[in-house]
Structure 1
């Protein structure tokens, strides 16, 4: 199986590569359109700030390529947020794959949300054999609003979408590569999609 990780200079790559290595798969870091198009599965990770990450995607033309992909694509953390319509972070227009906006948590709660929190209202093959109220590891100051495309909800100040799905596109706000057994199960499920 050919696995590609979209390379646009936005963090947390090694931990994702190691997570797939543990599952017996090699995930190749690439920004080459041909390689990405010819992959069986595509990972779109991200750590950092939305507007500068989006700028890097535009400079490489990946902002045009990603929404056209036909194979299963998994956006992780900032990757998922960039797949949304718009982010309040840097007033950034996203890829518009998910019909939802990304907002900032208010100052009534500790920002960023950092650590373990539960996921519930699980829908989708992505969560096969993962139980309701399972804990996942999160680090973020911005969140996608709960919407029709939500396939998991997490509560922090308010219920928000901790996972999204639209056709062959999936996004998770949490870090499956850092979420112990449940995160590993999610990656296994993604490989089977």
Structure 2
């Protein structure tokens, strides 16, 4: 049975998860990849709740699951930190701001659609979002390059070419990369005799 201190500690963690995901979701423009880098800064760099490699694994899980990556990312991080209650609290914190904002915008849509200043603001935000997504790409790719594993570099380059040049659906790329990772793991275990 949990002691009172453990329940209070769990409550504080849940509260921090909720406030963090609520804040990140409320002030993140540009989609899921933007919130992923901010989640990394919050949960890895600031709180030190998750390691950087573990965060990359959680992002890979979130990206390969159906649905919005921001919500999926919040689910896996919340679950990692506090189990099912953590996942539920992270979902609530992530979904609440867009729900409220979209509800408010839908009421005033016609005014926003034709407003010159709003259109210019959104145009500027698109440029900023592009820079943030480039930063996320660099942050996620740099450890793979530093690892200097030739197979990982080939997989990363192949996935990039398949997505950007050949325009193959990302779902297929993720599935193939997951299968390659599985085969590599099985071969590695077989070689080590486990």
TM-score, structure 1 length as denominator? 0.23
More helix by share: 2
Answer with 1 or 2: which has the greater Rg: 2
Q: Which has the higher strand share?
A: 1
TM-score w.r.t. length of structure 2: 0.23
